[in-house]
Chain A
Amino acid sequence: MAKQVRQLDRVVIRFAGDSGDGMQLTGDRFTSETAQLGNDLSTLPNFPAEIRAPAGTLPGVSSFQVHFANFDILTPGDAPDVLVAMNPAALKANIGDLPSGATVIVNTDEFTKRNLAKVGYDSDPLTDGSLADYTVAPVALTSMTVAALQDFDLSKKEAERAKNMFALGLLSWMYSRPTESTIRFLERKFAARPELAQANIAAFKAGWNFGETTESFAVRYEVKPAKMAPGTYRNITGNVALSYGLLAASVRSGLPLFLGAYPITPASDVLHELSKHKKFGVTTFQAEDEIAAVGAALGASYGGALGVTTTSGPGVALKAETIGLAVALELPLVICDIQRAGPSTGMPTKTEQADLMLALFGRHGEAPAAVIAPQSPADCFYAALEACRIALKYRTPVVLLSDGYLANGSEPWLLPEIDELPDLRVEFATEPNHELPDGRRVFWPYKRDPQTLARPWAVPGTPGLEHRIGGLEKADGSGEISYDPANHDKMVRLRAARIEGIAQDIPPLTVDDPDNDAEVLVLGWGSTYGPIGAACRQLRARGVKIAQAHLRHLSPLPANTGEVLRSYQRVVVPEMNLGQLSTLLRARFLVDVISYNQVRGLPFTAAELESALEEVVKNA
């Protein structure tokens, strides 16, 4: 019997299971199939900090949410339309997020008395009526997988492990996804063990065929490709995009990339990624700690390399003194902070935006640095390039504030033409730049470019420019040690002016205000761009007027920031912290911004922002 095919505009699916069930891989594969089909998409992985929490328990649940649509979307979706629950723990941990009417596909094989008891279910939710609000599709995923693989020479355990591919096959059938990329992927992944590759492919196909033949699924869905700008796309996570952005900066500057890093969630993947690309002349140095990581990056930068360090909040705290040294030395240095929930160890795998003040002010003395933040996973590529551009041109540390949500989330990325990326070439000093009263030509390491206020970058090995620099205060121009009060005052102001001056070299803050008649502006920074944008769309679709602006540069702020803030009756600033940007804006511009905050370790949902913003509009 041919099945009915129903068209949908958008779907949100969440795959959830034990951390050993391979849910991240399943989600990744489904995402890749979806990308191949041409839908727009956005993903949100959510995994426990423990590598292997006890099997079947609530802390061990790992999930992957993917939102895909036939139009451009901005977020991984507020609530799943479909939950795939591989065990009772996955059901219990996720069911609360589902709207009534949502579909729940459960692996009935795992709903044993013991597993139910493990997560505190007194009775079986599949039979006690507690799931009455949902469409429940019970599927014996494990046993059907084992049955499908009986001809393979595999242990029962090995066969069971392929159940995620059965689930993927079923969902791929349900949503009419192309399957070739997954088959190719499995062949590649298990190239060393062809029988495992074939078994996984067989499980995947069995899942697909099950959907096709079973009576339980009467309807199949289609989500047509989204209208996207022409070009070649790939799906990319924030951390990979960030790594590629750093590589691109190295290529476009002609400087070898030196990454100093100490492993930390959620930043380690940048170290892993860049360590694979030595052919670009990249050196990755896994240091003994974060202080050494940034120190080595600064040392490399002193030697004329593009020095970068990647870390998360706890690491930034340790690097503070060295970043201060970079401020004093006026050397390029890029510090990537992939923020996570704090304080202290906090929730390492969960996202937050609470390091803004740390990035801006977390050093002793007046130690200004540039700070920028990407707004989406793919944007991490451009943000990394921009961080390097500023660092190289202004000879300054630049802090790039990504976060766990951007780092692990993904979206389609329209691949750029390399020669259209900014030209980051720099000139090293090669000659004396100053004439003494007696006519001698000498090198003054702190004689600045009048335009950028950047000092010359004279790398060791350059004859005739031998000089000493250090953390002690230096005389303006000559760079000699100076304790002169007026000189210190001048140098402090010069360092601040150099950073402030970057405002002339960045785009003004643009406002999206479709009819130019909104009274309320919502201003965000960093990874809240997607949820804020989605909320604004929903409001506008209902005729509610709202303007949106998003800050990429946090230090310096775009030159017109004050003007933009003052041209709206009310300004709302949603942040995943307790109001760090709003505090700053209030102090800088004396504008009474409304702070909307949440620190749950998860991105905002569009719906909650929608109602919060509507509230402000109503009272404006």
Chain B
Amino acid sequence: MPRPDAAPSGAPAPGATVPRSLQLVPKAEGRLTAKDFKSDQEVRWCPGCGDYAILAAVQSFLPELGVRRENIVFISGIGCSSRFPYYVETYGMHSIHGRAPAIATGLAVARPDLSVWVVTGDGDALSIGGNHLIHALRRNVNVKILLFNNRIYGLTKGQYSPTSELGKITKSTPVGSADWPFNPISLALGAEASFVARTIDSDRKHLISVLRAAAHHPGSALVEIYQNCNIFNDGAFDVLKDPSSRDSSLIRLEHGQPVVFGANQEYAVVRDPAGFGLRVVDTASVPASEIITHDVTVPDPAYAFALSRLSGEDLSHTPIGVFRAVDRPTYDELVRGQVTTAQAKVTQGAEAELASLLHSGDTWTIL
């Protein structure tokens, strides 16, 4: 099995400005292009599906990673979105419903020389796979999770999902859903994810900037991507796309910048004196010093959580961008560190070591 320490000449030199998340991944020799990441498989999503735009954005972003194509792996669950790996010319596994984070965890821990990505849907990640998602996030394993949220079950033809609005009429809820939805960002922050971001299928530039931040983050990254399912939930994110509503709904988070939005920055986010969170006010009504300056590194997830609570079910006041990016030890680094420390003490070959182990404890010899 290719070992990271035996990485060929293309491997990044120590000290080079390669992010920690990619330091052990062998570097590509030449510059790759988006075309290098297109597989020969015919893409089979419905015409007009938001998944196409995400695929194109990912394919155009991957060369930027600068790592060898064969060292990138996409692992998905089940759903329309989870067909994704078939279309990307890297290693890939289309696994089973909800379990991709678990499979990716094993792969990422075993293989530090890989850049491991998970592609999942709102049903896949938040319903059947909810447990694996929160544990992958709290552990902080070096996997990047792209959650395509179309607020519906696409592949099974249109049942409501854990992100569908209360009262949603679907095939399985003819008089409206009675389930209170998850906010995936709030959920991830509750699990103390070290990197949490949201983006949207229709804004390629933004999507790529978020992918870049995720790729550079050491540890688990959750990227929620709002994705239009034009067959079963068309227009779910129109408020965020329609020129008439978009400016007053979308809050673009920028690290180090005041959190203001609106066509003329007429809205601002400030602490809510009445509660524990944040609220939206008219920019003109508050002194500039009261406006929150966005900081992705705040250690307490409560800040990013408060940001995530600004958006209601109707998507009014929806922040996009990176909510949180804090540096903490990753599970795979810690685990590998323990193994490396133990191995450093070994003074003999594996077979001799095994013989010593078998002969340890109380033994007796019969002649």
Contact = CB atoms under 8 A, between A and B. Distances in A.
Nearest to B44: A481
Interface residues of A, number: 74
B105 A230 contact: no
Given A279-B345, A288-B135, A302 B107 contact: yes
Contacts of A255: 1
Interface in B132-171: 132, 135
Contacts of B361: 234
Contacts of B108: 299
A466 B75 CA distance: 13
Question: Which label, helix, strand, loop or mixed, suits the secondary structure of the A interface?
Answer: mixed
Given A285-B106, A299-B110, A303-B110, A471 B339 contact: no
A235 interface: yes
B99 A468 contact: no
Nearest to B109: A283
Nearest to B114: A460
B366 A299 contact: no
A16 interface: no
A534 B114 CA distance: 54
B354 interface: yes
Interface string B85-115: 1100111111110010111111111110110
Contacts, number: 215
B355 to A, nearest CB: 5
Contacts of B132: 288, 291-292, 295
B70 interface: yes
B131 interface: yes
Interface string B335-367: 110110111011000111111011101111111
Interface stretch (A3-11, A67-75, A110-118, A243-251): A243-251
Contacts of A418: 351-352, 354-355, 358
A590 interface: no
B33 interface: no
Contact of A278 (B99, B104, B338): B338
Contacts of B114: 303, 460-461
B174 interface: no
A271 B93 CA distance: 27
A253 to B, nearest CB: 11
Given A251-B350, A296-B105, A459-B1, A277 B113 contact: no
Contacts of B243: none
B69 interface: yes
A231 B73 contact: no
**Chain B interface residue count: which class?**
35 or more
A292 B99 contact: yes
B25 to A, nearest CB: 9
A471 B95 contact: yes
A251 B355 CA distance: 11
A181 B359 CA distance: 15
A460 B342 contact: no
B2 A469 contact: no
A292 B138 CA distance: 14
A299 B91 contact: no
A485 interface: no
Interface in A456-490: 459-472, 480-481
B110 A281 contact: no
Given A298-B103, A300-B107, A466-B70, A461 B342 contact: no
A466 to B, nearest CB: 6
Nearest to B339: A278
Contact of B94 (A248, A258, A301, A471): A471
B202 interface: no
Given A295-B106, A296-B106, A470 B362 contact: no
Given A285-B109, A461-B71, A466 B135 contact: no
A304 interface: yes
B92 A468 contact: yes
Contact of B102 (A228, A287, A471): A287
A280 B351 CA distance: 10
Contacts of A471: 78, 94-96
A149 interface: no
A181 B362 CA distance: 8
B39 interface: yes
A190 interface: no
B131 A35 contact: no
B217 interface: no
Contact of A295 (B26, B90, B102): B102
A603 interface: no
A298 B104 CA distance: 9
A32 B102 contact: no
Given A281-B339, A415-B358, A295 B103 contact: yes
A297 interface: yes
Contacts of A251: 350-351, 353-354
Most buried by A among B68, B335, B364, B365: B364
Interface in A424-478: 428, 459-472
Nearest to B134: A288
Nearest to B75: A299
A462 B3 CA distance: 11
Given A230-B366, A251-B350, A470-B92, 5 more contacts: A283-B339, A293-B102, A296-B103, A468-B94, A480-B41
Interface of A: 32, 35-36, 38, 181, 225, 228-235, 244, 247-248, 251, 255-256, 258, 260, 277-283, 285, 287-289, 291-293, 295-305, 307, 321-322, 324-325, 329, 415-416, 418-419, 428, 459-472, 480-481
26 contacts: A35-B362, A36-B362, A230-B365, A232-B365, A233-B364, A234-B358, A234-B361, A244-B357, A256-B110, A279-B342, A280-B350, A283-B109, A291-B102, A295-B105, A296-B102, A297-B106, A298-B106, A299-B75, A299-B108, A324-B96, A419-B351, A428-B1, A459-B1, A461-B71, A466-B69, A468-B91
Nearest first, the 4 A-B pairs at minimum CB distance are A470-B94, A299-B106, A296-B106, A295-B102
